[in-house]
Structure 1
Amino acid sequence: MMRLLRVELHRLFSRQVVLLLMVAAVVVPLLMLVAVAREARPVTPEELADAEAVYAQQLADWEETGEEQVAQCEADEEREREASGQEVDFGCEFITAPELEWFLRPVPTFAADVERLLSALSPLLLAVGLAIGATFTAAEFATGSMGMWLTFEPRRLRVYATKLAAPALAFGLVALAAAALFVAGDWFILDSADLTAGTTAATWTSVGWMVLRIGGLGLLAALLSAALGFLVRHTAGVLGIGIGYLVVELVVRGLVPASQPWLVSVNVASWVQHGTTYYLETCAADGQGGVLCEVADRTVSFGHSALYLLVLTAVVVGLGALAFRRRDVR
């Protein structure tokens, strides 16, 4: 089994398209680090002068009409409360005097932004992993290599297992390395700009687990798409399924908002972030002939998303194994 796995890893890295995709997985975090470096630049005198000019104008307007704005907001809030008979909050307490910081370019800090940026990186790595797994296995059927390979190793389940394990293990490590590279680069850039204040041991623990989860996501993505390659037997077909699913998900999300805990994108976000929230609007009759709607945030736990993604991958892998055992290979 290990000999077959070594052979498959060699075949994987001998494919030029796979190598290009692996390189892309490393280039993407480097490009993100370039953006971080641009944002971490100190505020220039020109930017400060422009911000101060806008701030002075806004402050003058506030001093002239601020109390009137707050009073009007509170009056509208009270009028709506009396009309609806419900508790209403227009957020009048947030109408306050402007501050200079509002008009300055936001400067990132490591503790506040690293996990947000890792969350943005993960879908890009997911896409690369899906492409690698699909092109590795589907190409074996398109070129006829699979039939020839079975003449050397006729035990199909062993062949199937190693052809899935090779891209999964390889890209899992690449995704892990890409996420770790981004974290190291982000720290170096922001530490050089004195923007790492507030970073604690808890921050590093959370970031470390997030990097590991991104590595695991890369492994699952390559594993699932490699199994789809056995089912569809064409790279374009696998990629078409992925694109088609995204379109369907957008439609379902809009038509049935309550379906969000069962959408792949939501569960991927929950996996990476160790739990996520989404917003759901619910409406009911108010007893006076009208309709009262409220928006509440709902939680998708990490346990839910982990079980969802693992079961989804297991089902696809199982179907791929069944198809490979029973279908002819030419």
Structure 2
Amino acid sequence: MSLYSAETRRLVKRRFTRYFTLGAVVVLAAIAVAMFVTNQQIGPAQVADAKAHAHADYQRSVGEAADFKKRCEAAKGTPDASQFPPSCDDLGAPTEDNFDPQWYLPATFDFKKKFPDLVTTLAALLSVVGFVIGASFVGAEWSSGGMANLLLWRPQRLRVLGTKLLAFLVGLTGLTVLLSAAWTGIFALVARYRGTSASMTTGAWKSLAIMEARGLALVVVAGAVGFGLASLGRHTAMALGVAIGVAIVFQFGLGTALALAKVKFAEAYLAPLWIEAWMKQKFVVEDYDACNFSGTNGCQPDTFTITWHMAGSALLAAFVVIVGAALWTIRRRDIT
């Protein structure tokens, strides 16, 4: 059996890999079921019901307005007059245009509008899965002594670690592609029976496919970073500790410090916005402390746009630095 086949088999056979992946699938299934249950397909019956509710609310509001005006007239010359406007004639009645039937329609699943957010949700969840499984896959080998034993009969350090990483990333890619296809198909069915996908043109499908490809890249980078950190620290806890530290210190702590220091575009230093920029092509950070006055638009805040090119460069840098460091250190450090 080749080294790649052995590592692939090891990855698939690990109970942690199976159970953690199963947990993610259960979460995704719960989201899909919730979206199916809480949405409805809009038809003539729903439109008629919404119009009836809008008209009923309009009539009720007209009655309440008339009653309030009568109480205003009756209160003139009494201590209660202070509770009403000086002139009761200023009290107007609502018009039926104030009650749009669209507000009374039930929630419906518009595939083009809502599915991109669900693609981001899938990518985020699978990134966590990839990070943790990647860290565990190599971290358990180091902490249990399995890596040292493996290198006894395969004393090629870079080849062993590189093959283990390759097997993991290929498996993670396959899992992501499979779940992405299932995710798309499930919500296409949700749109068919609980909403609409009528606005999905060929261009919209291409844009969606590109977004899912960016999600795949995010998952692969997250998995490689988890793998690399655990290899550097020779323990799964190393990767998890770094992740927790980054979240607490560099995200919440840094965000609070920058906000207190009134740093311009403080939000631009937070990783989640860069991930969102990567998935949605851009993210605009606004500085409301600055005002660019316009005679037509009034006060406009300064803006800073995080583009997908910038976010992609950051992901690539993280991949190269951490994986490169892991490969370099296995050449230099003792294995014991």
From the CA coordinates, give the structure whose radius of gyration is larger: 2
**Separation of aligned partners in 2, 1:300 and 1:62:** 52
Equivalent residue, structure 1, for 2:279: 272
The correspondence for 2:331, drawn from 310, 325, 328, is 325
* CA shift for structure 1 position 221: 1.2
Structure 2 Cα separation of the partners of residues 17 and 125 of structure 1: 15
Uncovered stretches (5+) of structure 1, i.e. residues with no partner: 66-95, 287-292
- The residue type paired with residue 209 of structure 2 is G
d(CA) in 2 for partners of 1:218 and 1:136?
Answer: 16
| Aligned partners of 2:188 and 2:197 also within 8 Å | yes
CA distance in 2, matches of 1:98, 1:117: 31
After superposition, the Cα gap between the structure-2 partners of 1:212 and 1:284, relative to the gap in structure 1 and judged at 3 Å, is: closer
1:88 corresponds to? none
Partner residue, 1:180:
181
Q: Determine the structure 2 residue equivalent to 1:78.
A: none
RMSD: 3.2
Per the alignment, residue 215 of structure 1 pairs with 216
Matched, 1:206 2:207: yes
Deviates more, 1:255-264 or 1:32-41: 255-264
CA distance in 1: counterparts of 2:60 and 2:280, whole angstroms: 39
Q: Identity of aligned pairs, percent?
A: 26
Q: Deviations over 1:41-99 (max 9, x none)?
A: 35798xx589927971698379959xxxxxxxxxxxxxxxxxxxxxxxxxxxxxx8242
**Alignment map for 1:31-110 (pairs within 5 Å):** 31-42=30-41, 52=53, 56=57, 60=61, 97-110=98-111
Distance 1:120 1:158, change over 3 A: same
Whichever residue aligns with residue 34 of structure 1, its letter is V
Distance apart, 1:207 and its partner CA:
1.0
**In 1, Cα distance between the equivalents of 2:142 and 2:52?**
61
Distance in 2 (CA, whole Å) between partners of 1:60 and 1:313 is 60
Give the Å deviation of 1:142.
1.1
Equivalent residues of 1:33, 1:185 under 8 A apart: yes
The alpha-carbon distance between structure 1 residues 169 and 260, as it changes in their structure 2 partners (threshold 3 A), is farther
Return 97-106 or 182-191, whichever deviates more. Answer: 97-106
**Deviation digits for residues 23-49 of structure 1, max 9, x if unmatched?**
33433332221122112235798xx58
Gaps of 5+ in 2: 67-96, 259-263, 294-298
The answer to whether residue 181 in structure 2 is matched with residue 148 in structure 1 is no
Corresponding letter in the other structure for 2:161: Y
Task: Tell me the distance in 1 between the aligned counterparts of 2:52 and 2:149.
Answer: 68
1:329 is paired with a residue whose SS is coil
Match of 2:256 among 254, 257, 261: 254
TM-score, length of structure 1 as denominator length: 0.78
Match of 1:113 in 2: 114
Give the alignment's TM-score, normalised by structure 2: 0.77
- SS in structure 1 of the partner of residue 107 of structure 2: coil
